[in-house]
Amino acid sequence: MGRSADHRSSKKTVQLDVRLREFVGYTLRRTSSIIQADLAQTLKPFDLRMLTFSALSLIINNPGLRQSQLADAMDVEHPNMVSLIDDLEARNLITRERSTSDRRAYAVCGTEAGKRLYEAAHKAVADHENRLLAGLNDDQRQQILGAMEMIQTAYKI
Amino acid sequence: MGRSADHRSSKKTVQLDVRLREFVGYTLRRTSSIIQADLAQTLKPFDLRMLTFSALSLIINNPGLRQSQLADAMDVEHPNMVSLIDDLEARNLITRERSTSDRRAYAVCGTEAGKRLYEAAHKAVADHENRLLAGLNDDQRQQILGAMEMIQTAYKI
DNA sequence: TATTGTTATACTCTATAACTATA
DNA sequence: TATAGTTATAGAGTATAACAATA
């Protein structure tokens, strides 16, 4: 499941080493891990993990994608995509159909049930974000997203 | 080892679903994962992982800590701290000595070799950060760190 | 009783190699 | 020969339960 969900627990936290906190890489990792744990709790009622939610979102919003395209978009190795898709298909949230033009490939689409679950989960995640970022205005949120985008593209060059 | 290191590879990336990218949680996770992979490469020559580097940094800069305090500071469960400490101790980078006041506890300290390795690794990580964040000025970096701090403290309340 | 450190264990995420069936 | 999907497998990272020694 990953990290413990209860980050609000009032354990007597040790506040020490300042040097590590200067690193954006370190701070980003810790923050991301905290958010991830909370997000997992948010998605639990829908029986979705972050990976299955991401896959569902991509499939619903881009119907007909191949698994390899999904894997690329999610930055997941192809073999690891299989069980994700298997899970969603077994629950009748998506369909896997052989492509007519290339019989090696599958075209993946969301079902009506998948779309309903996705919309509900999406709303829960959006609410979660708003709670989480209540202290930041739209401008600040955009700055964060912009900075992350900049770092990501810096890596792709 | 985690994620593939070569994020600069020019795979034909699929740019699709815009909805996911609106989520700070999602974007943060992806960015953090990319940075982490690169950081792992940076630490490899020192035979350190992000977790062992973090532990070493905390130990060197706060000598005499107990393992439980380290685990708290690193947000790691106590059982998972053991192998980290074992690794560093086996390489003579740190010492584990029974506390005189509480014979259940260990006081952990860095050795001279540990300090040398840490300083070299710290410099490499700092250089890595500067390369990574070359597109951001000091003000923008501080804003990111501030926003992360705000999110983290929001969770602790 | 509670806490420090430990062992054992399990689950998720990720990476690689090798297979199959198509192209 | 190359590609799409699959299987099998291995290694990090992280979580919980239960134990011995000490408080």
Q: Which of B62, B143, B156 sits opposite A16 (nearest CB)?
A: B62
Residue of chain A nearest B50, judged by CA positions: A26
Residues on chain B touching A73 (C-beta within 8 angstroms): 13-17
Strand D closer than 7 A to residue A2 Cβ = yes
- Residue B3: band (very low, low, confident or very high) from pLDDT cuts 50, 70, 90: very low
- Integer Cα distance of B145 and A69 in angstroms: 34
As a rounded value in angstroms, the CA-to-C1' distance for A146 and D19 is 50
pLDDT average per 10 residues of sequence, chain A (157 residues)? 40 67 92 92 95 97 96 96 98 96 97 98 94 86 87 74
- Residue B94: band (very low, low, confident or very high) from pLDDT cuts 50, 70, 90: very high
- Integer Cα distance of A79 and A56 in angstroms: 17
- Integer Cα distance of A39 and A26 in angstroms: 20
Helix (H) or strand (E) holding B97: strand B94-98
- Integer Cα distance of A50 and A27 in angstroms: 21
- Integer Cα distance of A149 and B21 in angstroms: 10
Question: Which one has a higher pLDDT value, A34 or B153?
Answer: A34
- Residue B103: band (very low, low, confident or very high) from pLDDT cuts 50, 70, 90: very high
Looking only at the bridges linking them, the beta strands covering B106-110 and A94-98 are unpaired
Judged against a pLDDT cut of 80, whether residue B127 lies above it is answered with yes
Q: Which of B96, B98, B108 is nearest to B69 (CA)?
A: B108
Residues on chain B touching A23 (C-beta within 8 angstroms): 125-126, 129
- Closest C1' nucleotide to A68's CA: D4
* Count of positions (residues) in chain A: 157
pLDDT computed for residue B14 by the predictor: 57
Q: Which of A8, A72, A147 sits opposite B156 (nearest CB)?
A: A8
**Residue B7 bridge partners (DSSP):** none
